[in-house]
Chains A and B, each alone.
Chain A
Amino acid sequence: MTAPAESLLLPVPDEDGAPFWEYAARGELRIQTCADCGRLRFPPRPCCPHCGSFASEWRLMSGRGRIWSYVRPHPPLLPAYAAHAPYNVILVELVEEPLIRLAGNLVTSADAPLDSVDPARLRIGARVQVVFTETGGMSVPRWVLERP
């Protein structure tokens, strides 16, 4: 992406979250899963809150989901965000596990700006699909409508 987008905040992964971003760099949406009881968990953490196991794996998701909620932030904002305000932020419930709701942005295509979608298209329940965009040396998920 071009200069303004590169000044958006980059994810600062912690030790539990690092694999998510490593998989994202390969264009894969993976969610931490207990290697013993098989339950998915998010955000990632050292052990399973259901069975106590410290063994985990990262399960590949289809990348499909539905909008659970959304906001449209207006200034005052950090400058890189103010440049595109009002933009959208959406929460996407994943088809594989609707209780996991990933924050992201609905865009017209992977590299389009945060305000590229007509706000009239924002709707709770709308089906979306993950895409990835390169920014500041990292790969970050974005979301596009299944039926644009």
Chain B
Amino acid sequence: MAATLKDATAIVGIGQTAFARQLAAGEKELACRAILAALADAGIAPAEVDAFASYTMEETDEVEVAKSIGAGDVTFFSKVGYGGGGSCATVGHLAAAIATGQASVGVAWRSRKRGSGPRPWKNTTVQLPTPGQWTRPFGLLRPADEIGMLARRYMHEYGATRDHLFNVAMACRNRANENPAAMMYERPLTREMYMTSRMISEPLCLFDNCLETDGALACVIVSAERARDCRQRPVYVHSVAQGLPSQHHGMVNYWNDDPLSGPAWTAARHLWKQADFGPEDVDVAQIYDAFTPLIPLSLEGYGFCGRGEGAAFTEGGALEMGGRLPINTGGGGLSEAYVHGFNLINEGVKQLRGISTAQVPDAATCLVTAGEGVPTSAILLRS
């Protein structure tokens, strides 16, 4: 029988710092605090950690983290590219390493001071990846501009409206209003606020954009066998996938047959192929939400509805508690914190432990996705 990652590993510890527009501590300290919190949650000593995974955009490297937290000899370390597209792949890489015996205790983390730090798009001295010459001189400067272009076309082709995007923003804000750790905990949103807010890149307004956050998160992954002896109820990594579609161009995916079917479709095909259940069996989903249009696109990509139906899917409270598919139950990147999607991973774990601040009753399966519109990744979790 071929080797499989299915349920071979589990997330047994999660940790996070406070989330705020500005935190005093540096990224390294935040990383260490989140990692040590996750290990304490798991009941595993730092000296047992022998694997690390993070993002290529992570500023604190494994050497710094390992020596600060007091890790043991490390035998596996990996970093995944493409910003928020790498979030779930950090868990996937550790699952693969542990399932194949290259390591036994893995820590994935992301620490970022995006709230108080510079906006990446403001850096004009560094030549961005190749597509920069084809887009930036024309004023397509920010991710919001690049995704806004796809959003406008999506609205044109499928009749999606700003009200559909509002449904996404509202669902995330409602969950954040239930989550004391969320940056938008005490900040309700109304349709009027949304419709009259300033535009960032038409058709996208302020509330279509994620937060700018200082904060860090981490999780701990071990084998399923070891997980049964850990302090917390294991949350099994059921299926993992990365996705870089044929002829994909990153966030400026303008030069292929079908710019509106992005990396989610590629990751989804592999994710479901490896899984014992399908989209209809997902109890709750944590879908990467740097921008509201990524939700309808991802709903289509991961098979919750057909092509062009993602916007309509959001109607009638479908994304709210008790709806067809409650999403981003901690508030997501739009309303809890934007830490390159790592809070979505930890929220998925909370749901399957039954401790979310917006708990879906008896949730047993959760999809977590990474950034859509860039080479991406996804994991299916089950209890």
Contact = CB atoms under 8 A, between A and B. Distances in A.
Do A and B pair up? The answer is yes
Interface of A: 8-14, 16-17, 21, 42-43, 49, 68-74, 76-78, 81, 86-87, 89, 91, 99-105, 114, 124, 140
Given A99-B256, A103-B254, A81 B202 contact: no
A73 B255 CA distance: 21
Contact of A74 (B127, B152, B199): B199
Nearest to A141: B138
Contacts of A77: 139, 141-142
Given A69-B149, A69-B150, A99 B130 contact: no
B196 interface: no
B255 to A, nearest CB: 5
Contact of B153 (A14, A69, A74): A69
B202 A74 contact: yes
Return the 10 tightest CB-CB contacts between A and B, nearest first.
A72-B202, A69-B153, A71-B148, A11-B133, A101-B254, A69-B152, A73-B201, A103-B135, A71-B201, A12-B127
Given A43-B249, A77-B139, A124-B152, 16 more contacts: A9-B136, A10-B137, A12-B132, A14-B127, A14-B130, A16-B130, A73-B201, A73-B202, A77-B141, A81-B141, A86-B202, A89-B140, A91-B149, A100-B255, A103-B134, A103-B135
Contact of B200 (A8, A43, A74): A74
Contacts of A43: 130-131, 134, 249, 255
Contacts of B201: 71-74
Contact of A71 (B137, B203, B249): B203
Nearest to A119: B202
Contact of B133 (A12, A69, A101): A12
A71 B130 contact: no
Interface in B91-127: 119, 122, 124, 127
A87 B249 CA distance: 24
A108 B257 CA distance: 30
- Scoring A16, A72, A86 by chain B CB atoms within 10 A of each residue's CB, the highest score goes to A72
B198 interface: yes
Chain B interface size range: 35 or more
A54 B255 CA distance: 20
B48 interface: no
B145 to A, nearest CB: 5
A103 B140 contact: yes
A114 B139 contact: yes
B134 to A, nearest CB: 6
Contact of A69 (B119, B139, B144, B156): B156
Contact of B137 (A9, A72, A74, A124): A9
B132 A101 contact: no
A31 B153 CA distance: 24
A70 B256 CA distance: 17
B382 to A, nearest CB: 38
A103 B152 CA distance: 14
Interface in B200-226: 200-204
A27 B249 CA distance: 27
Nearest to A123: B156
A91 B255 CA distance: 10
Nearest to A77: B141
A68 B199 contact: no
Contact of B139 (A12, A21, A81): A81
B133 A14 contact: yes
B190 interface: no
Given A71-B140, A74-B199, A99 B257 contact: yes
Contacts of A16: 130
Nearest to B128: A12
Nearest to A100: B255
Contacts of B203: 71
15 contacts: A8-B139, A9-B124, A16-B130, A17-B130, A70-B149, A71-B149, A71-B203, A73-B142, A73-B202, A77-B141, A77-B142, A99-B255, A101-B254, A103-B134, A104-B138
A103 B141 CA distance: 12
B138 A89 contact: yes
